[in-house]
C-alpha cells in the first residue's frame, strides 16, 4: 500500500468508511494507516468481494458495445467498466530544469515510507499539501535538516475544533450558500490566528474552501520551533542542490516532491476527454461524457474528504450501472 508508515487519516472514521461496512467501534476517531488497511481487508471479507490483486491493467479498449481490458495476465471482457483508480498511482513530478545534473536523490512523496535513514541529511520538501506537511514535520522531528519550498502558499486549518473534526464541520456546512461558508471559514481563520499567532506560511490567493487546505499544525509547529526552514518555490537544480525563485541557492542531499497526483487514466488512452486538472469529463459525478457504460469512482474531491466522496460516488455508479444493464436487457 503506497502510504507512509506514520499516516493517520485527517478525516474522521464516520465519514471515511465505504458503503455498507463501518469501522469497528474500537478504531480511534482518526484511523491510522494500519487501521485503514485492516478495514479494507475486513471489507472484502464481510462483503465476500472477488477482489483480484497483482493484475496490472495496461490498456482498455472498446469492442463494439462492450469492453476489452488488457492486463499482464490476460484479457478480460465486460459490458461496463468502472474506473476506481483514483489518483494515488499517478504522482505528479514537475519538470524542473537541471535535474539531470543534481547529484543527490530525487523522489516523490508516494515513495516515502519512514524517517529512518534521513537523520542529519539536508532534505528539501517541495510543496506544502497534507503529505508534504506531514512528511516534512516528521523528518524534522527525527533529526533531518528540513526545508520546505512554498510556491503559492497554504491555508492552514485545525484538525478539529472543540473535539469535532474539521471535516465534520465542512460536511455540515456543505448545503449553506457560498458566501455564508466563506464567512464562517474566515471567522475560523481569525480565531486560529488569535490563538496561535500570525501564519508562518505564505497566504495563497485562494481561500480554504477553494482547495484542500493543510490540515493540522504539525508543520507549522516545526517551523515555529526552528526545525523547518521555509523557502520560495524551486527554480532549478544545481549539482549540489537547488536554486530558488528568489535567487537563493542551497545544497541538499534529498529532494522530495510533495506535488500531488494526477488522475490515473492511462489505460483509457484517447477514449475520454479530460478537464484542466486531468479528470475525465463526466455528465454527472460518475458517468463518462464520452463513452457508454464507463463510470468513475474516486475522481471527485472536496473538503468533505476523499473517502467520503468515494462512498458517495460508489453508490451513484452502482445505480447508473444497474439502470444501464436493465435497459440493455429490456
* Rounded distance between C-alpha atoms, residue 300 and residue 285, angstroms: 7
What confidence tens digit (pLDDT) does each residue in 196-209 have? Answer: 888 888 888 887 77
pLDDT tens readout for residues 96-132: 999 999 999 999 999 999 999 999 999 999 999 999 9
Q: What is the rounded distance in angstroms from the CA atom of residue 115 to the CA atom of residue 139? A: 5
293 contacts 81 by C-beta, under 8 angstroms: yes
- How do the pLDDT tens digits run along the chain, 330 residues long? 567 899 999 999 999 999 999 999 999 999 999 999 999 999 999 999 999 888 899 999 999 989 999 999 999 999 999 999 876 768 889 999 999 999 999 999 999 999 999 999 999 999 999 999 999 999 999 999 999 999 888 888 889 887 888 889 888 888 889 889 888 888 888 888 888 888 888 888 887 777 788 899 999 999 999 999 999 999 999 999 999 999 999 999 999 999 988 888 999 999 999 998 889 999 999 999 999 999 999 888 777 888 999 999 999 999 999 988 777 666
Is 5:116 a contact under the CB 8 Å cutoff?
no
Q: Yes or no: say if 11 and 167 are a contact pair by the CB < 8 Å rule.
A: yes
Q: Does domain 52-89+262-329 have CATH number 3.50.50.60?
A: yes
Q: Domain 99-257 in CATH: superfamily?
A: FAD/NAD(P)-binding domain (3.50.50.60)
Instruction: Name 147's bridge partners.
Output: 124, 229
Domain with CATH 3.50.50.60 in the chain: 52-89+262-329, 99-257
Amino acid at each position: 500500500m503506497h502510504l507512509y508508515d506514520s499516516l493517520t487519516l485527517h478525516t474522521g472514521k464516520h465519514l471515511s468508511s465505504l458503503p455498507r461496512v463501518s469501522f469497528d467501534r474500537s478504531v480511534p476517531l482518526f484511523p491510522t494507516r494500519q487501521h485503514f488497511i485492516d478495514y479494507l481487508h475486513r471489507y472484502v471479507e464481510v462483503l465476500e468481494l472477488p477482489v483480484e490483486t497483482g493484475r496490472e491493467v495496461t490498456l482498455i479498449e472498446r469492442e463494439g458495445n462492450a469492453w476489452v481490458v488488457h492486463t499482464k495476465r490476460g484479457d478480460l471482457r465486460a459490458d461496463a467498466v468502472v474506473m476506481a483508480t483514483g489518483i494515488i498511482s499517478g504522482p505528479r513530478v514537475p519538470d524542473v530544469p537541471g535535474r539531470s545534473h543534481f547529484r543527490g536523490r530525487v523522489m516523490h512523496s508516494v515513495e516515502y515510507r519512514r524517517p529512518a535513514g534521513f537523520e542529519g541529511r539536508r532534505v528539501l520538501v517541495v510543496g506544502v499539501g497534507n503529505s508534504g506537511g506531514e512528511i516534512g514535520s516528521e523528518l524534522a522531528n527525527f533529526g533531518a535538516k528540513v526545508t520546505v519550498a512554498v510556491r503559492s502558499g497554504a491555508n492552514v486549518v485545525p484538525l478539529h475544533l472543540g473535539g469535532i473534526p474539521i471535516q465534520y464541520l465542512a460536511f455540515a456546512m456543505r448545503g449553506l450558500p457560498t458566501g455564508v461558508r466563506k464567512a464562517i471559514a474566515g471567522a475560523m481563520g481569525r480565531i486560529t490566528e488569535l490563538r496561535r499567532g500570525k501564519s508562518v506560511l505564505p497566504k495563497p490567493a485562494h481561500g480554504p474552501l477553494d482547495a484542500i487546505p493543510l490540515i493540522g499544525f504539525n508543520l507549522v509547529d516545526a517551523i515555529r520551533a526552528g526545525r523547518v526552514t521555509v523557502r520560495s518555490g524551486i527554480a532549478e537544480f544545481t549539482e549540489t542542490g537547488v536554486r530558488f525563485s528568489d535567487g537563493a541557492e542551497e545544497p541538499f542531499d534529498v529532494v522530495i516532491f510533495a506535488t500531488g497526483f494526477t488522475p490515473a487514466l492511462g489505460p483509457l488512452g484517447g477514449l475520454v476527454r479530460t478537464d484542466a486538472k486531468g479528470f475525465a469529463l463526466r455528465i454527472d459525478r460518475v458517468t463518462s461524457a464520452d463513452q457508454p457504460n464507463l463510470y468513475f469512482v474516486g475522481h471527485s474531491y472536496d473538503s468533505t474528504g476523499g473517502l467520503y466522496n468515494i462512498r458517495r460516488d460508489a453508490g451513484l455508479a452502482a445505480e447508473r450501472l444497474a439502470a444501464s444493464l436493465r435497459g440493455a436487457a429490456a
